[in-house]
Protein backbone atom coordinates (compact mmCIF):
# COMPACT_ATOMS: atom_id res chain seq x y z
CA UNK A 1 0.00 0.00 0.00
CA UNK A 2 1.47 3.38 -0.96
CA UNK A 3 0.91 6.51 1.07
CA UNK A 4 -1.90 8.80 0.15
CA UNK A 5 -2.29 12.51 -0.18
CA UNK A 6 -0.88 15.13 -2.47
CA UNK A 7 2.80 15.90 -1.96
CA UNK A 8 2.79 19.54 -0.91
CA UNK A 9 5.92 21.57 -0.40
CA UNK A 10 6.74 19.50 2.70
CA UNK A 11 6.93 15.71 2.51
CA UNK A 12 6.93 15.43 6.30
CA UNK A 13 5.35 17.73 8.87
CA UNK A 14 6.08 17.49 12.61
CA UNK A 15 4.80 19.38 15.64
CA UNK A 16 6.39 19.66 19.08
CA UNK A 17 8.48 21.55 21.59
CA UNK A 18 12.17 22.40 21.19
CA UNK A 19 14.47 22.80 24.14
CA UNK A 20 17.96 23.99 24.78
CA UNK A 21 20.05 21.23 26.33
CA UNK A 22 22.91 21.91 28.71
CA UNK A 23 25.32 19.06 29.41
CA UNK A 24 28.63 18.64 31.18
CA UNK A 25 31.46 17.16 29.11
CA UNK A 26 31.46 13.35 29.04
CA UNK A 27 33.04 12.07 32.23
CA UNK A 28 31.75 15.01 34.26
CA UNK A 29 28.66 15.16 36.46
CA UNK A 30 25.77 17.64 36.51
CA UNK A 31 26.17 18.19 40.23
CA UNK A 32 29.65 19.66 40.00
CA UNK A 33 30.63 20.45 36.42
CA UNK A 34 31.73 24.08 35.93
CA UNK A 35 30.93 24.20 32.20
CA UNK A 36 28.00 23.05 30.12
CA UNK A 37 27.87 22.36 26.40
CA UNK A 38 24.83 23.78 24.61
CA UNK A 39 22.73 21.84 22.09
CA UNK A 40 19.27 22.25 20.61
CA UNK A 41 16.93 19.30 21.24
CA UNK A 42 13.28 18.25 21.17
CA UNK A 43 12.05 15.00 19.67
CA UNK A 44 10.10 16.33 16.68
CA UNK A 45 12.69 19.03 15.96
CA UNK A 46 15.36 16.30 15.92
CA UNK A 47 13.30 14.26 13.43
CA UNK A 48 12.84 17.35 11.26
CA UNK A 49 16.58 18.17 11.25
CA UNK A 50 17.55 14.58 10.42
CA UNK A 51 15.07 14.43 7.52
CA UNK A 52 16.01 17.83 6.11
CA UNK A 53 19.68 16.84 6.32
CA UNK A 54 19.09 13.86 4.01
CA UNK A 55 17.13 16.09 1.63
CA UNK A 56 13.50 15.38 2.61
CA UNK A 57 11.51 18.66 2.60
CA UNK A 58 10.24 18.92 6.18
CA UNK A 59 8.18 21.41 8.21
CA UNK A 60 8.33 21.83 11.99
CA UNK A 61 5.47 23.56 13.82
CA UNK A 62 5.88 24.92 17.34
CA UNK A 63 5.78 28.02 19.48
CA UNK A 64 9.00 29.88 20.23
CA UNK A 65 9.57 32.89 22.48
CA UNK A 66 10.92 36.06 20.88
CA UNK A 67 14.17 35.76 22.81
CA UNK A 68 17.74 35.02 21.87
CA UNK A 69 17.16 31.36 22.84
CA UNK A 70 14.05 31.15 20.66
CA UNK A 71 16.06 32.54 17.75
CA UNK A 72 18.90 30.13 18.47
CA UNK A 73 16.47 27.21 18.07
CA UNK A 74 15.05 28.66 14.84
CA UNK A 75 18.55 29.26 13.41
CA UNK A 76 19.57 25.72 14.28
CA UNK A 77 16.58 24.18 12.47
CA UNK A 78 16.60 26.51 9.48
CA UNK A 79 20.34 25.96 8.94
CA UNK A 80 19.45 22.29 8.35
CA UNK A 81 16.78 23.34 5.83
CA UNK A 82 13.65 22.77 7.97
CA UNK A 83 10.63 24.95 6.99
CA UNK A 84 9.46 27.07 9.94
CA UNK A 85 6.60 29.00 8.31
CA UNK A 86 4.01 27.63 10.78
CA UNK A 87 6.02 28.43 13.93
CA UNK A 88 4.22 30.86 16.25
CA UNK A 89 6.41 33.50 17.93
CA UNK A 90 5.23 34.62 21.35
CA UNK A 91 6.15 37.46 23.71
CA UNK A 92 6.47 37.06 27.46
CA UNK A 93 7.11 33.32 27.61
CA UNK A 94 10.21 31.22 27.82
CA UNK A 95 12.03 28.43 26.04
CA UNK A 96 12.27 25.09 27.84
CA UNK A 97 15.64 23.83 29.02
CA UNK A 98 16.94 20.45 29.96
CA UNK A 99 20.10 19.24 31.60
CA UNK A 100 21.62 15.96 30.43
CA UNK A 101 24.45 14.05 32.04
CA UNK A 102 25.85 11.65 29.46
CA UNK A 103 26.46 8.33 31.18
CA UNK A 104 28.99 5.62 30.64
CA UNK A 105 28.21 2.03 31.78
CA UNK A 106 27.31 1.38 34.53
CA UNK A 107 26.35 5.07 35.10
CA UNK A 108 23.14 5.79 33.15
CA UNK A 109 22.52 8.94 31.15
CA UNK A 110 20.21 11.14 33.22
CA UNK A 111 18.01 14.07 32.35
CA UNK A 112 16.46 16.92 34.38
CA UNK A 113 13.73 18.98 32.71
CA UNK A 114 13.10 22.69 33.29
CA UNK A 115 10.19 23.23 30.93
CA UNK A 116 7.25 24.73 32.87
CA UNK A 117 5.62 27.90 31.53
CA UNK A 118 7.12 27.68 28.05
CA UNK A 119 5.85 29.24 24.83
CA UNK A 120 4.93 25.75 23.62
CA UNK A 121 2.90 25.00 26.76
CA UNK A 122 0.69 28.00 25.98
CA UNK A 123 -0.02 26.89 22.39
CA UNK A 124 -3.66 25.93 21.81
CA UNK A 125 -5.44 24.30 18.88
CA UNK A 126 -6.95 27.64 17.83
CA UNK A 127 -3.50 29.19 17.36
CA UNK A 128 -2.56 27.08 14.34
CA UNK A 129 -3.50 27.00 10.66
CA UNK A 130 -4.15 23.25 10.45
CA UNK A 131 -4.35 23.19 6.65
CA UNK A 132 -0.77 24.48 6.54
CA UNK A 133 0.45 22.33 9.45
CA UNK A 134 -0.89 19.10 7.92
CA UNK A 135 -0.02 19.81 4.28
CA UNK A 136 2.43 16.90 3.87
CA UNK A 137 2.60 13.22 2.88
CA UNK A 138 3.49 12.25 6.46
CA UNK A 139 2.42 13.90 9.74
CA UNK A 140 4.80 12.83 12.53
CA UNK A 141 3.80 13.16 16.21
CA UNK A 142 5.17 11.90 19.52
CA UNK A 143 4.07 11.07 23.05
CA UNK A 144 6.34 13.79 24.45
CA UNK A 145 4.09 16.45 22.94
CA UNK A 146 1.02 14.64 24.23
CA UNK A 147 2.41 14.75 27.79
CA UNK A 148 4.33 17.98 28.04
CA UNK A 149 1.54 20.41 29.02
CA UNK A 150 -2.18 20.25 29.81
CA UNK A 151 -3.11 21.72 26.39
CA UNK A 152 -0.68 19.79 24.24
CA UNK A 153 -2.53 16.45 24.06
CA UNK A 154 -5.29 18.25 22.16
CA UNK A 155 -2.69 19.47 19.63
CA UNK A 156 -1.60 15.90 18.92
CA UNK A 157 -5.19 14.64 18.56
CA UNK A 158 -6.10 17.50 16.22
CA UNK A 159 -2.94 17.09 14.12
CA UNK A 160 -3.60 13.36 13.72
CA UNK A 161 -7.25 13.92 12.78
CA UNK A 162 -6.48 16.73 10.35
CA UNK A 163 -3.57 14.77 8.87
CA UNK A 164 -5.80 11.76 8.21
CA UNK A 165 -8.58 13.89 6.70
CA UNK A 166 -6.07 15.47 4.33
CA UNK A 167 -4.75 12.07 3.20
CA UNK A 168 -1.43 12.14 5.05
CA UNK A 169 0.09 9.06 6.66
CA UNK A 170 0.00 9.67 10.43
CA UNK A 171 2.99 8.38 12.41
CA UNK A 172 3.08 8.31 16.22
CA UNK A 173 6.23 7.61 18.25
CA UNK A 174 5.18 6.62 21.79
CA UNK A 175 8.48 8.09 23.14
CA UNK A 176 7.42 7.56 26.77
CA UNK A 177 9.01 9.89 29.36
CA UNK A 178 8.39 8.88 32.98
CA UNK A 179 9.20 12.46 34.06
CA UNK A 180 6.24 13.77 32.05
CA UNK A 181 3.40 11.28 32.57
CA UNK A 182 2.37 8.02 34.19
CA UNK A 183 2.44 4.79 32.13
CA UNK A 184 -1.37 4.59 32.48
CA UNK A 185 -1.88 8.12 31.10
CA UNK A 186 0.47 7.46 28.18
CA UNK A 187 -1.25 4.14 27.38
CA UNK A 188 -4.73 5.62 27.51
CA UNK A 189 -3.71 8.58 25.31
CA UNK A 190 -2.16 6.19 22.78
CA UNK A 191 -5.35 4.10 22.74
CA UNK A 192 -7.44 7.24 22.14
CA UNK A 193 -5.16 8.41 19.31
CA UNK A 194 -4.81 4.97 17.71
CA UNK A 195 -7.87 5.33 15.46
CA UNK A 196 -6.02 8.13 13.61
CA UNK A 197 -2.58 6.47 13.46
CA UNK A 198 -1.21 4.56 10.45
CA UNK A 199 2.23 3.72 11.81
CA UNK A 200 3.25 3.38 15.47
CA UNK A 201 6.86 3.42 16.69
CA UNK A 202 7.47 2.07 20.21
CA UNK A 203 10.45 0.91 22.27
CA UNK A 204 10.15 -2.71 23.44
CA UNK A 205 10.38 -1.59 27.09
CA UNK A 206 7.48 0.85 26.56
CA UNK A 207 5.37 -1.89 24.94
CA UNK A 208 5.89 -3.92 28.12
CA UNK A 209 5.56 -1.11 30.71
CA UNK A 210 2.66 0.81 29.14
CA UNK A 211 0.61 -1.93 27.53
CA UNK A 212 1.46 -4.91 29.77
CA UNK A 213 2.70 -6.99 26.82
CA UNK A 214 5.33 -9.71 27.05
CA UNK A 215 7.49 -11.71 24.68
CA UNK A 216 10.14 -10.95 22.07
CA UNK A 217 10.17 -7.90 19.79
CA UNK A 218 8.33 -9.53 16.84
CA UNK A 219 5.48 -10.64 19.11
CA UNK A 220 5.40 -7.23 20.83
CA UNK A 221 4.99 -5.59 17.40
CA UNK A 222 2.15 -7.88 16.27
CA UNK A 223 0.46 -7.72 19.71
CA UNK A 224 0.60 -3.91 19.71
CA UNK A 225 -0.88 -3.89 16.20
CA UNK A 226 -3.76 -6.10 17.41
CA UNK A 227 -4.29 -4.31 20.73
CA UNK A 228 -4.40 -0.85 19.15
CA UNK A 229 -5.80 -1.84 15.71
CA UNK A 230 -2.92 -0.17 13.86
CA UNK A 231 -1.73 -1.81 10.62
CA UNK A 232 1.96 -0.98 10.93
CA UNK A 233 3.98 -1.09 14.15
CA UNK A 234 7.75 -0.72 14.56
CA UNK A 235 9.34 -1.91 17.82
CA UNK A 236 12.91 -0.91 18.70
CA UNK A 237 15.17 -2.82 21.08
CA UNK A 238 18.38 -0.77 21.21
CA UNK A 239 21.40 -2.94 20.46
CA UNK A 240 19.08 -5.78 19.39
CA UNK A 241 17.79 -3.79 16.41
CA UNK A 242 14.27 -3.14 15.20
CA UNK A 243 11.31 -5.18 13.97
CA UNK A 244 8.12 -4.21 12.23
CA UNK A 245 4.68 -5.71 11.91
CA UNK A 246 3.75 -4.30 8.50
CA UNK A 247 0.37 -5.02 6.95
CA UNK A 248 0.43 -8.56 8.37
CA UNK A 249 4.09 -9.35 7.72
CA UNK A 250 7.09 -9.33 10.03
CA UNK A 251 10.27 -7.47 9.00
CA UNK A 252 13.50 -7.09 11.01
CA UNK A 253 16.80 -5.20 10.89
CA UNK A 254 19.82 -5.63 13.20
CA UNK A 255 21.31 -2.64 14.99
CA UNK A 256 24.65 -1.52 13.61
CA UNK A 257 27.62 -1.66 15.97
CA UNK A 258 28.65 1.78 17.15
CA UNK A 259 31.14 3.19 19.62
CA UNK A 260 28.60 5.85 20.53
CA UNK A 261 29.54 9.01 22.42
CA UNK A 262 25.99 10.35 23.04
CA UNK A 263 22.84 8.26 22.71
CA UNK A 264 20.35 11.12 23.18
CA UNK A 265 18.63 11.68 19.86
CA UNK A 266 19.22 8.16 18.54
CA UNK A 267 15.51 7.28 18.82
CA UNK A 268 14.53 10.37 16.83
CA UNK A 269 17.20 9.65 14.22
CA UNK A 270 15.77 6.13 13.93
CA UNK A 271 12.26 7.54 13.43
CA UNK A 272 13.58 9.91 10.74
CA UNK A 273 15.21 7.02 8.89
CA UNK A 274 11.96 5.05 9.05
CA UNK A 275 9.95 7.98 7.64
CA UNK A 276 12.49 8.51 4.88
CA UNK A 277 12.29 4.81 3.93
CA UNK A 278 8.48 4.90 4.06
CA UNK A 279 8.48 7.80 1.57
CA UNK A 280 10.48 5.59 -0.78
CA UNK A 281 8.03 2.74 -0.25
CA UNK A 282 9.68 -0.23 1.48
CA UNK A 283 9.46 -1.38 5.12
CA UNK A 284 12.83 -3.17 4.85
CA UNK A 285 14.48 0.03 3.64
CA UNK A 286 12.69 1.99 6.38
CA UNK A 287 14.22 -0.19 9.11
CA UNK A 288 17.66 -0.22 7.42
CA UNK A 289 17.75 3.56 7.17
CA UNK A 290 16.38 3.89 10.71
CA UNK A 291 19.10 1.72 12.25
CA UNK A 292 21.80 3.44 10.16
CA UNK A 293 20.66 6.90 11.24
CA UNK A 294 20.36 5.86 14.90
CA UNK A 295 23.90 4.48 14.93
CA UNK A 296 25.30 7.58 13.19
CA UNK A 297 23.46 9.89 15.61
CA UNK A 298 25.21 8.20 18.54
CA UNK A 299 28.65 9.00 17.12
CA UNK A 300 28.26 12.76 17.57
CA UNK A 301 27.52 14.96 20.58
CA UNK A 302 24.13 16.61 20.76
CA UNK A 303 20.55 15.63 19.98
CA UNK A 304 20.59 16.30 16.25
CA UNK A 305 21.51 13.89 13.45
CA UNK A 306 22.96 15.97 10.62
CA UNK A 307 24.22 13.46 8.10
CA UNK A 308 23.77 13.60 4.33
CA UNK A 309 21.78 10.98 2.40
CA UNK A 310 25.02 9.63 0.95
CA UNK A 311 26.59 9.22 4.40
CA UNK A 312 23.51 7.41 5.76
CA UNK A 313 23.09 5.16 2.73
CA UNK A 314 26.78 4.18 2.83
CA UNK A 315 26.32 3.05 6.43
CA UNK A 316 22.99 1.35 5.68
CA UNK A 317 24.66 -0.62 2.84
CA UNK A 318 27.69 -1.44 4.97
CA UNK A 319 29.84 0.45 2.46
CA UNK A 320 31.48 2.79 4.95
CA UNK A 321 35.24 3.10 5.33
CA UNK A 322 37.16 3.74 8.52
CA UNK A 323 39.07 6.61 6.94
CA UNK A 324 37.94 8.51 3.87
CA UNK A 325 40.72 10.10 1.82
O1 LIG B 1 13.15 14.49 26.27
C2 LIG B 1 12.61 15.36 25.59
O3 LIG B 1 11.54 15.87 25.88
C4 LIG B 1 13.22 15.82 24.34
O5 LIG B 1 12.51 16.01 23.39
C6 LIG B 1 14.70 16.01 24.30
C7 LIG B 1 15.51 15.09 23.40
O8 LIG B 1 15.96 15.83 22.27
C9 LIG B 1 14.79 13.85 22.96
O10 LIG B 1 14.19 13.29 24.07
C11 LIG B 1 15.73 12.82 22.37
O12 LIG B 1 15.02 11.60 22.26
P13 LIG B 1 15.67 10.20 21.90
O14 LIG B 1 15.95 10.23 20.42
O15 LIG B 1 14.63 9.20 22.25
O16 LIG B 1 16.93 10.05 22.69
Asked whether residue 21 is assigned to any structural domain, the reply reads no
Q: How many angstroms does the Cα of residue 99 sit away from the middle of ligand 1?
A: 11
pLDDT at res. 259: 82
Instruction: Among 18, 40, 46, name the best residue to mutate to test ligand 1's pocket (greatest count of ligand atoms within 8 A of Cβ).
Output: 46
Asked whether residue 285 is assigned to any structural domain, the reply reads yes
Asked whether residue 81 is assigned to any structural domain, the reply reads no
Q: How far apart are CA 204 and CA 216, in angstroms?
A: 8
Q: What is the mean pLDDT of each run of 10 residues along the chain (325 residues)?
A: 49 98 96 97 98 98 98 98 98 96 94 97 98 97 96 97 97 97 98 98 98 97 98 96 97 92 96 97 94 97 98 88 68
Q: Is 264 in the pocket of ligand 1 (CB under 6 A)?
A: yes
Residue 96 vs residues 84, 93, 272: alpha-carbon distances, Å = 18, 10, 23
Asked whether residue 96 is assigned to any structural domain, the reply reads no
Asked whether residue 146 is assigned to any structural domain, the reply reads yes
Q: How many angstroms does the Cα of residue 265 sit away from the middle of ligand 1?
A: 6
Q: How many angstroms does the Cα of residue 111 sit away from the middle of ligand 1?
A: 10
Residue 227 sits at φ, ψ, to 5 deg, of -60, -40
CATH code where residue 252 lies: 3.40.1190.20
Instruction: Among 21, 22, 37, 41, name the best residue to mutate to test ligand 1's pocket (greatest count of ligand atoms within 8 A of Cβ).
Output: 41
Asked whether residue 71 is assigned to any structural domain, the reply reads no
Structural domain that includes position 277: 10-16+43-62+126-316
Q: Where are the beta strands (DSSP E) in the chain?
A: 12-15, 19-23, 37-41, 58-61, 63-65, 88-90, 96-101, 110-114, 138-142, 169-173, 199-203, 232-236, 242-246, 249-253
pLDDT at res. 2: 37
β-bridge partners, 22: 38, 99
pLDDT at res. 86: 97
How many structural domains is the chain composed of? Answer: 1
pLDDT at res. 320: 63
Asked whether residue 166 is assigned to any structural domain, the reply reads yes
Residue 129 vs residues 20, 61, 124, 162: alpha-carbon distances, Å = 26, 10, 11, 11
Q: Whose CA is nearest to atom 10 of ligand 1?
A: 43
Is the CB of residue 299 less than 8 Å from the CB of residue 261? yes
β-bridge partners, 112: 99
Asked whether residue 282 is assigned to any structural domain, the reply reads yes
pLDDT at res. 321: 64
Q: How far apart are CA 163 and CA 197, in angstroms?
A: 10
Amino acid sequence: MGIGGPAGAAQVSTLGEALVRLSPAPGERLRDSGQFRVHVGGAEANVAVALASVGVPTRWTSALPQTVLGRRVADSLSSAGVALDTVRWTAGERLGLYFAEIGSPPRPTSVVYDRAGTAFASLSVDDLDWAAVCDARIVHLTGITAAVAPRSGALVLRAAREGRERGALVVYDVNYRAALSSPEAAASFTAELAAHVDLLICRAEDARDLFGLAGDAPSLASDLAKTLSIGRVVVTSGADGAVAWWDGESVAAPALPTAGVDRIGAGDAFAAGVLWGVLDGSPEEALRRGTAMASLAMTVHGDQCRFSAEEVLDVARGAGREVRR
